[in-house]
Structure 1
Amino acid sequence: MAVARSRSSAGPVGYAVGDITSLDFPDGHFDGVRCERVLQHVREPDAAIKELIRVTRPRGRVCVIDTDWSSSVANGFDHLDEDIAEFFPEDNDPAAGRAIRSRMVRAGLRHTTALPVALRFTSLTDAGVVVPFFNCGAMQSRVRAELIERFFASVERSVDRGGLLFAFTMWIGLGQVPLGSMPRNVS
């Protein structure tokens, strides 16, 4: 929260910590909502989408951005599949991005679309800012130390050879809350 506040320089912005499946805001409170890289980490992504709709006014926009780690391609290093498997608990969805639009449609949003965005990295420094698997600090809480060591040794060799390449797809889902219906919180 402190980092988010320190980066905010545009007008009155509020920050709150909460459960995305049970937000502490009234129905229709926001003109639009944006959720990025969250669904892959929650047990009930459909409940999260419904809750985003609930707090958005009719005709308001819902934007959900998430990753499809299963679309990852790598060249020049090893152990990525092992890292991804250990990083995500069994009840999380590393391919959440590809399901955004269908989740939005099932939840009742109108005028939905899904836009793929391919990201690619050839620098460990750049990858470490966006991709948790290239950030040792992010990995330490979820992946065995021995695997982290093997992975980063392989990545370092790839960097030394000038052969590091990692790419994946993120999906941007957009939809509009229908007029005249206010979805209720899911139980």
Structure 2
Amino acid sequence: MEPAQKDRTPFSDIDGLSAQMSEIVLDALTEMGRHPEIQRVRRVALEMLRPMTGQRLLDAGSGSGEVARVLAARVGADGEVLAVDHSSAVTAAAVDRHDGSNVRYLTGDVAALDMPGDSVDGVWCERVLQHVDDADRTIGELLRVTRPGGRICLVDTDWGSLAFDGMPGGLGAVVMAHVTGHFTPRQFDMGRTLRRRLVGAGLRDVVATPVTCLFASPASAAVVLPMVNPRVPADAWATPPGLRDEWLACVDAAGQSGTFLAVLTIWVVVGTKA
């Protein structure tokens, strides 16, 4: 019998998924990148990272490369962006979408980068640390490859902040008790810990900004929140029989009545390597 809390979410091992689940996850990554609330988070992060012309930047956990290509536009022809992702399938999708900008797509482990120390001017790491085994070790590796004076921008989710309104409160609590740790990573509060981690790692001028994402319809929320997405297969749920369908019916009813609401805080934290 499967445990209520999984060691890994589908996003942490895309290459190990079935063909059906791999397609769902890859589509989800693309849809998330296009979502207005995720784009709003990224605008905040770009303002805080402050990429400049001629810089060499690392996108650690680059997904299908949307951010890497935005960063490449900021650093220009004299700069370079290294886009590293653990999944070969995702890296291949990124290569297929390449726009000719100065991005190099690489498959690798962000906790053990095949890069020399002090070799990049800045790092972007978005919604990755919640999936790794040792976040502090990974941050240490990002620091290792960053030159002194370089900036590190970490973006991650605080799943403990997730809240709903418009559906029966008791049912929502029951559902969340089952899906937290199944649809969400074990390190569900990663976002709120980022500031402490960067301060502890010795970075200076650490600034933390919480961005609360608001989803006013089930369709909007389903792009980011798998527990309200009816396309997620029933066998991927950890709920007792019937509870998934009851929950999704309530979600749909709240959407029809206009009362649905979901909120989730994503943290953006930057610091400078001393």
Length-normalised TM-score, structure 2:
0.58
Structure 1 residue runs of 5 or longer lacking an equivalent are: 179-187
Corresponding residue for 2:127?
37
Match of 1:47 among 129, 137, 144: 137
Match of 1:107 among 201, 224, 227: 201
Corresponding residue for 1:25?
115
How far does residue 60 in structure 1 lie from its aligned partner after superposition? 0.6
Distance 1:140 1:165 in 2: 23
Deviation track 1:149-185 (CA, whole Å, cap 9, x = no partner) reads: 343233112212221100011110100111xxxxxxx
Match of 1:169 among 265, 268, 272: 265
Kindly indicate whether residue 85 of structure 2 is the aligned counterpart of residue 85 of structure 1.
no
What is the aligned-residue RMSD (CA, Å)?
A: 2.3
Amino acid at match of 1:166: A
**Aligned 1:143-162 pairs, distance under 5 A:** 143-144=237-238, 146=241, 148-162=244-258
Moved more, 20-29 or 44-53: 20-29
Contact 2:156 2:190 in 1 (8 A): yes
Structure 2 residue runs of 5 or longer lacking an equivalent are: 1-90
Q: 2:105 aligns to what SS in structure 1?
A: coil
Distance 1:134 1:23 in 2: 35
Rate the CA distance shift 1:167–1:13 in 2: closer, same or farther, 3 A: same
Rate the CA distance shift 1:125–1:175 in 2: closer, same or farther, 3 A: same
Distance 1:31 1:167 in 2: 34
Distance 1:108 1:168 in 2: 29
Distance 2:99 2:181 in 1: 38
Rate the CA distance shift 1:66–1:10 in 2: closer, same or farther, 3 A: farther
Q: How many aligned positions are there?
A: 176
Structure with the larger helix share: 2
Amino acid at match of 1:116: P
Amino acid at match of 1:128: A
Rate the CA distance shift 1:162–1:112 in 2: closer, same or farther, 3 A: same
Rate the CA distance shift 1:135–1:12 in 2: closer, same or farther, 3 A: farther
Q: Percent identity?
A: 39
